[in-house]
Amino acid sequence: MSKQPETMTQEIQEVHIHRDDFGSKMGLWLFLFTEILLFGGLFILYASYRFIYPEGFAAAATHLDVLMGALNTIILLTSSLTVVLGIVALQKNKKKLCLFFLWITIFCGILFLVNKYFEWGAKFQHGIYPKGPALQDMSEGEVMYFGLYYVMTGLHGLHIIVGLAFIGFVMMQIKKDILTSKNFQKLENAGLYWHLVDIIWIFLFPLLYLIH
Amino acid sequence: MANGTIAVPGRTAEIDFYNVRTKHKGIASWLLTTDHKRIGIMYLGVVLFFFLVAMTLGVFMRLEMLTPGETIMKAQTYNSLFTLHGVIMVFLFIIPSVPAIFGNFFLPIQIGAQDVQFPKLNLMSWYLYIIGALLALFSILKPGGVMDTGWTFYVPYSIRSTANISLSVFAAFVLGFSTILTGINFIATIHRLRCPGMTWFRMPLFCWAMYATSWIQVLATPVIGITLVLIILERTLGIGIFDPTLGGDPLLYQHMFWIYSHPAVYIMILPAMGVVSEIIPTFAKKPIFGYTPIAISSLAIALVGYLVWGHHMFSSGISDTSRVIFSLLTFMVALPSGIKVFNWVATLYKGSIVVTAPLLFTLIFIFIFSIGGLTGLTLGALNTDLHLTDTYFVVGHFHYVMFGGMGIIFFAALHYWFPKMFGKMYNEKVAKITAYWIAIGFNTLYFPFFIMGYMGMPRRYYDYLPEFEIYHRISTVGSWILVSGILVMFYNLYKGLRNGKKAPDNPWGGTTLEWTIPSPPPMENFKVIPTVTTGPYDHTVIHGQEENKMQ
Amino acid sequence: MNHDQHLEQHPAHPEGHDEGHIAVAHHPSYGVNILVWIGLLSLTSITVAVAGINLGSLALTAALIIALIKSMFVVNFFMHVKFDNKIIKLFIGICMVVFIIVLVLTFFDLTFRY
C-alpha cells in the first residue's frame, strides 16, 4: 500500500558502514599484491636479461658498493622493526613510545634515501646512466643491467617516499588520538606497506649487488 | 494493486536514489557521492560516450576501407584511427563497462549489502577513469601526433614514433589503476559483506563472475602498468630495456604486454558470462543447470587465462618449445568456457521460455560467441595460426568474441536491468527488432573478415588487392546496418527513460535480491538486511506477483 | 517512515564476516620482534659472506633462498601473517603462484631461444 510520507521534508540519508578492521587489512593486502606484480614485472625482466647476459651483469655489478647496499639493507630491516615496535607500543597504550619508534622509522627511511642519493650521484659523476658516456663503451649486458638498476631502485625509492608519507599521515592521526590502542588498523596497514617495501629491497640487494 | 504492481511493504513510497536529499546539493551530490548506484550510473554515462566515440571511429575506418588505396583519409590518419579505436574500445569501454556499471550497481544488492566495502575508493576509481580519459583526449589534441602504433604499442615503433605516445600510454596506466581499485573493492565486498545465509554457493553467478574478474584485475593489470611506464622511460630517458639497438629484446615487451592483455580479455568476458548466467534462468523460469560448475569455471578461466598469452606471439620468433606449450594451454582454456555454454543451453531445455529483448540478445550472444570461440581454436593451433595471424581472420575472431561476446551482453544487461536502474520500461517490441537488426549488421560486417583473412588480407592495412574489395564493401555496408541498429536501440532506451511506463519492482520474475527492492532503488538498498535461505535461482520464492510479466 | 541516520549494516550472524571488525591485539610483544630482527641481520651477513664464496651457478640460488627465508620472517612475524586468518595466507599463495607461473612460462621461451 502506498503511504504518504509523514512530513514533506525528508531527513538526509547517510549510510554509515560499520568499522571493519579485517576488511581494511584485506583491502591493503590486495593492494600489496598489485605492488608485488608491479615489481614482479621488473624482476621478470631482470631474470630474463641476467639469463641472456650473465657476464655483462656480473661486470656491471662491480660498479656497485656492496657495503652501501648492505648498510641500506640493515637500515630498512631496522626500520621494519621499529614500525612493528611502534604498533606494539600503541597496542599497549604507550602513545609517546609509539611515536618515538615511528620517528626512528622515518629517520631510517630518509637515511636510506640519502644513501641512494649518494650512490646514484657517484654513478652520474662517472657517466654511468642511461645514454651516459660510460655506457657507450659498455657491453649490451651492462647497458641492460644499468637500465634495470635505475628503474628498479628508482621505483623502489618512490615507494619509500610513499611509505614515509603513509607513516607520517598515520603518525598525525595517532597524535590526534584518532588512532588508539583500540583502533590501530590504519597503523598496521601503514606498517604492512612499509614491510613490503622492505621485502622488495631484500631481493634487490643480492640481485643487484652480489653478482659474481 | 490496480496498476499491476505489488508494493514492497512500506517502501514503494520511499524516495529513489536519484531524488533523495543528500548532504551535497545539485551536481555536487553526484560528483561527491559514495553511493554505489550513483557511481554506477556515472560510469554508464561516460562509458556510453566513449563507446559511441570509438564506434564512430570504426565507421570511418570502414568508410576508408570501402575502396583500395586512399578513399577518405591518408595512411597515417588510418593508423591513428585504428589505434584510437582499439585503445578507446579496450580501455574505456570493454574492460570497465560491465564491472564498473553493472558490477557497481548490482553486486552489493545481489549479496544483500548496502554498498561496497570501500565506497570512497569506489568514487576514486571513477575519477581515475575520468582522468585517464582526459589524458587520452589530451594526447589526441596536443600537437605531436595522435597515437599510431596500434593499441598494442609494440616496440620498437612505439619507442620511435613521433606521436604523443608517452601521454597515450600514461592514460592507459591511469585507467589501469582505476580497474585495480575496482577489483580490490569487489573482492573485499564479496568476502566481507554477504548477508546472513548468503554462503558462497548461494551467491548469484554474476557475483562469482565479478569475483573471478576482480582477481584478474588485481594481479594482471600491474604488469601492463610497469610495461607502459617502461615505454615512457624508454622514450624519455633511453634506458634501453626494450631497444634492440642497445641490447634489449623486443619480444620481452610482447611477453610483458600480453601477460596482462590476455588475462584482460577474460576481464572483458567473465562479467558478460556472469550476466548471461543471470538472464537465462530468469527467462527460462528454471534454476540454472550446473550452478557449481559454472561458478568454478569462472575461477578456472581466470587461472588458465594466465597461462596462454604466448598465442599472441606465435609468429614473433619465440622458441618452438614455448609455442607448443602455449598452444596446448590455449586449447585447455576453451574447456571451462564450453562448460558454461553447455550449461546455459541445458538451462533453456524444458524451460518455460519467455523471449524478451534481454534473452534475445543473450541467445544471439551464444551463437556469435561460439563462432568467436571456435575461430579462437583455429588460431590456437600452431599450423593454422601461422597462416592466419596478422590477417583479418584475427580481427574477425576478436570482434566476434569481444563485441559479439561482451558488447552484445552489454546491450542485454542494459535491457535486463533497465527497469531496475531507471524505474521505467522500454518498448519491448522495438527492442527485439533492434536485437535482430544488430545481429544482422554484426554478421554482415564481421563474417567477411574470416573469409578475407583466410584469403590473406593483412590486418591494419589501409590498402589492399582488388580481390578483397567485394568483401570490404559487404563489410562496410554491414557496419552501416550495425551502427544504425545500435543507434535505434539506444534511442529506444532513451525514449523509455523519458516516456516509458513505470516499471514494477520485478517485471521479469527474477529471483535474485535486486528484484526484491523498488525500481529504482532507494538510497539505502535494504531497510533490513535480508537473510537468505535458498539458492539464487529458486523460482518457488519469486518476489512480486507472477502476473508481472512483460508483454 | 522513520529513517535512521545510522544504518545497521550488520545484524546478528552475518555470513561473510563473523569476526575481525574490531582488531584485537593478541599479546603484543617487543621481544619476539627484536629476536626476528637479529635473525634478519644475521641472514644479511650470511648473504654477503656466501656471495664471496665461488659457488658458480649455485650462487644465485643460494642468494634467492636466503632472501626468501628473510622474507618469510618479515611476512610471518613483522606482517603478522602467521597469526592472521587463513584467508590472508591463501591470498598470498594465489599471488605468488600467479607470479611464478608467469616467470616460468616466460622462461620456456628464453631458455630455448638463447
Q: How confident is the model at residue C11 (pLDDT cuts 50, 70, 90)?
A: very low
CB count within 10 Å of CB B282 equals 24
CA distance B2 to B492: 27
Q: Is B114 on the interface with C (CB under 8 A)?
A: yes
**C23 touches C80 (CB < 8 A):** no
Q: How confident is the model at residue C57 (pLDDT cuts 50, 70, 90)?
A: confident
Q: What sign does the CA torsion over B450, B451, B453, B459 have? A: negative
More confident residue, B11 or B276: B276
Q: Which residues pair with B391 in a beta bridge?
A: B458
**pLDDT at site B348:** 95
**pLDDT at site C53:** 85
Separation in Å, CA of B540 to nearest CA in chain A: 24
**pLDDT at site B477:** 98
**B104 touches B122 (CB < 8 A):** yes
Contact A33 C114 (CB under 8 A): no
**pLDDT at site C56:** 78
- Quick check: B36 pLDDT over 90? yes
**pLDDT at site A5:** 41
CA distance C65 to A76: 19
Name the percent of chain B lying above pLDDT 70: 96
Q: Is C6 on the interface with A (CB under 8 A)?
A: yes
Short-list B365, B328, B327, B330, CA closest to B345: B365
**pLDDT at site B13:** 66
* A118-164 pLDDT, tens digit each: 999 999 999 999 999 999 999 999 999 999 999 999 999 999 999 99
Minimum-distance CB partner of C109 among B13, B319, B529: B319
Q: Which three cell numbers stand for residue B495?
A: 525514449
Contacting chains of B (3 CB pairs or more, <8 Å) are A, C
* A77-92 pLDDT, tens digit each: 999 999 999 999 999 9
**Residues A54-70: what's their mean pLDDT?**
95
**pLDDT at site A9:** 43
CA distance B477 to C9: 54
Q: What is the DSSP string of B67-132?
A: SSS-SSS-HHHHHHHHHHHHHIIIIIIIHHIIIIIIIHHHHHHHTT-SS-S-HHHHHHHHHHHHHH
**pLDDT at site B539:** 85
**pLDDT at site C46:** 95
Average pLDDT, chain A: 92
- Quick check: C4 pLDDT over 80? no
Contact A18 C98 (CB under 8 A): no
Q: Cis omega (within 30 of 0) on the bond before B250?
A: no
CA distance B43 to B104: 9
* C17-30 pLDDT, tens digit each: 557 888 888 888 99
Short-list B156, A2, B504, CA closest to C1: A2
CA distance A193 to A187: 10
**pLDDT at site C9:** 44
- DSSP code of residue A18: P
**pLDDT at site B8:** 52
CA distance B550 to C3: 33
Average pLDDT, chain C: 85
- Quick check: B551 pLDDT over 50? no
Half-sphere exposure of B543 (CA within 13 A, CB side): 19
**Residues B167-178: what's their mean pLDDT?**
97
- Quick check: C1 pLDDT over 50? no
Q: Which residues, including other chains, have CB under 8 Å from residue B396's CB and lie 6 or more apart? A: B375, B446, B447, B449, B450, B453
* B281-312 pLDDT, tens digit each: 999 999 999 999 999 999 999 999 999 999 99
Q: Is B538 on the interface with C (CB under 8 A)?
A: no
* A167-211 pLDDT, tens digit each: 999 999 999 999 999 999 999 999 999 999 999 999 999 999 998
CA distance B258 to B192: 32
* B491-530 pLDDT, tens digit each: 999 999 999 999 999 999 999 999 999 999 999 999 999 9
Minimum-distance CB partner of A13 among B225, B255, B523: B523
CA distance B78 to B319: 33
Q: Is B326 on the interface with C (CB under 8 A)?
A: yes
**Residues B249-271: what's their mean pLDDT?**
97
Q: Give the 3-state DSSP-derived string for A131-153, with helices as H, strands as E and coil as C.
A: CCHHHHCCCHHHHHHHHHHHHHH
CA distance A206 to B365: 52
Short-list B258, B119, B124, B223, CA closest to B178: B124
**pLDDT at site B6:** 41
Q: Is A198 on the interface with C (CB under 8 A)?
A: yes
Q: Which stretches of B389-468 are DSSP H helices?
A: 392-398, 408-422, 428-455
Give ∠ CA C64-C68-C70 in degrees, rounded to 5. 120
* B349-377 pLDDT, tens digit each: 999 999 999 999 999 999 999 999 999 99
**B137 touches B175 (CB < 8 A):** no
- Quick check: B460 pLDDT over 70? yes
Q: Which three cell numbers stand for residue B104?
A: 557497481
Q: Is B246 on the interface with A (CB under 8 A)?
A: yes
**Residues A102-124: what's their mean pLDDT?**
97
- Quick check: B238 pLDDT over 50? yes
Separation in Å, CA of A31 to nearest CA in chain C: 11
Number of H helices, E strands in chain C: 3, 0
**C6 touches A16 (CB < 8 A):** yes
**Residues B393-403: what's their mean pLDDT?**
97
- Quick check: B129 pLDDT over 90? yes
Complex confidence, ipTM: 0.93
**pLDDT at site B445:** 98
How far apart, in Å, do the first and last CA atoms of chain C sit?
Answer: 74
CB count within 10 Å of CB B378 equals 15
**pLDDT at site C24:** 87
How far apart, in Å, do the first and last CA atoms of chain B sit?
Answer: 18
* B48-63 pLDDT, tens digit each: 999 999 999 999 999 9
